[in-house]
Amino acid sequence: MFSWRMVPCVIFEDEHLLVVAKPAGWNTHAPSPFAGEGIYDWLKHREPRWSSLAILHRLDKETSGVLVFGKTPLANKSLTEQFTERRVHKKYLLLTDRAVPHEEFTVKTSLVRVGEKYVSCPSGEIAETKFTPIADAKFGNGKLKTVSAEPFTGRTHQIRVHAAESSFPILGDTLYGGTASSRVFLHAAEIAFAHPATGKPVKFFAPVNFDIEPRLALRDAAIQPEATNAFRVIHGASDGWPGWFVEKLGDFLLSQAGAPLDAKQKEELSRLAKKFSSRGAYHKILSRQVRKSNVADASPQLVLGDVAPEQFEILENGVRYEMSFNEGYSVGLFLDQRDNRRRFLTGHIAADFDLLNSKLKIENSKPEVLNCFAYTCGFSVCAAKSGARTTSLDLSKKYLERGKRNFARNGLDPATHDFIFGDTFDWLRRLAKKGRAFDVIVFDPPTFSQSKEHGTFRAEKDFGKLVTAALPVLKPGGTLFASTNAAEFLPEAFLADIEAAVSMAKWKIVKQHYVPQPPDFPISRDEPAYLKTVWLKIA
């Protein structure tokens, strides 16, 4: 029996330590408040027992390998002292396509920062690295050199600078003169130190695999295949394919772009289909005029393999959802909300932030969850599986019916939950008049929508109005979940609108947690963040 709480990147855990294998392409920690979560941020807020996680050392974004976090004050103090006193032994492996010395040698220089780079100079922080050539390695079409690097100090970019200044820059490290490649081929292979509690020597390893594609290694580190078989495989420019997006949906692949597939994309899609043993692959043309298209034109089209059944099933965090390629533009679930749906399953939002207030837990009451703009009721299913009574509200009867089927697929009786067809603003007023109140209210509206009762809704100008309308039916101490994928709606403006609405209503935000999209939707300069989510505890 699998546990969907497992995280594939975790190598070791005890009371004091959490040791992980970080993939290339994932920051150690978030570089800015609204950037993608680093592996530290993602883990810290994932499980209650990781709420006190502390960073003790770092790896560059494009460096893979073993990374140790502290879980207790004892671990943090002990390992900080061991790092400071240079009693932690680390070993890295690197690939280079340049000539390297035949014997081991040590480089000791002073490093200073100059712009984005670090350079050796007469004065600065001392950095010392021992290099040992190992063997030739076959990678790609060329023959490369493998070199072991043991840093005796822990300076930023130390190994990268010393390798480059020794005339063998690391493959892919273009910042320091390396040949361009799919990643920086530097891997933290092992780390050894005295255990903070027992004092006994411990050593942790992260086996190197330079052959694996960086984007697939990133997904492998974050997604447990036994519990989840639906995730984004290619996320546009962040994965080297500007304007192209590919998702694995169970036994099928879904490709999305603004135009038909070109020859290079068809070749890559075919390769991915073989990689994942997919039964077939579909392509959807992204269009702003989708509302003017008929169902057949808006639906994804088969491009290779077998035709998908009218409805098929995917698995996410152990929960089953119905999907379809035959019902128009939307196929049944937005994968970028996977981590947020998991929060409903676990009842844990972030470090020191539980979904429900302590009074409900003490009374063992059944929480009430209102899911507005419910679509196919993904949030509702997860909330119901965790014991909540849900009310799902949407403008589409068709999607609500699919939502009921999602309940049934997971052994939940739809008859014990409410499904309301109608306009969100209208029904929030009705519910307030009836005296209804909810422990959790969910807002994940479309960027643009229209209804007869309310007219036009645009996320950028109307989100604050949603919050204002919701507060009369939110219980004191309740939780508000607000999310939008409106790319032009900046995070600062999104949060300001929500905070202003709460303040105007004379309510108070007592807890707040902001999250962007999950790791398989990587954020980069060329592919900026678009999903914005905030969880609020309001009193």
- Pick the catalytic residue: 60, 339, 423, 439? 60
- Tokens 């995730």 map to which residue? 231
Torsion, Cα 163 201 75 31, to 10 degrees, reads 20
The position carrying tokens 């103090």 is 77
Does the CA dihedral 272-276-282-284 come out positive or negative? negative
In the block, tokens 């546990």 appear at: 3
How many other CB atoms are found less than 10 A from the CB of residue 256? Answer: 18
SS3 118: strand
Cα Rg of the chain, angstroms: 25
DSSP string, 236-259: GGGGT-TTEEEEEETTEEEEEESS
Q: Would the CA dihedral through 466, 484, 388, 535 be positive or negative?
A: negative
Q: Tokens for 412?
A: 């939940």
DSSP annotation string for 86-97? T--EEEEEEEES
- Identity of the amino acid at 264: K
Q: CA-CA distances (angstroms) from residue 471 to 44, 332, 434, 505?
A: 30, 29, 14, 8
At residue 463, the 3 state secondary structure works out as: helix
Element (H, E) at 494: helix 491-504
**Cα–Cα distance, 506 to 304 (Å, whole number):** 57
Phi, psi of 191 (to 5 degrees): -145, 140
d(CA 142, CA 139): 6
Q: Answer yes or no: 526 catalytic.
A: no
Residue with tokens 């304007």: 243
Task: List residues with catalytic annotation.
Answer: 60
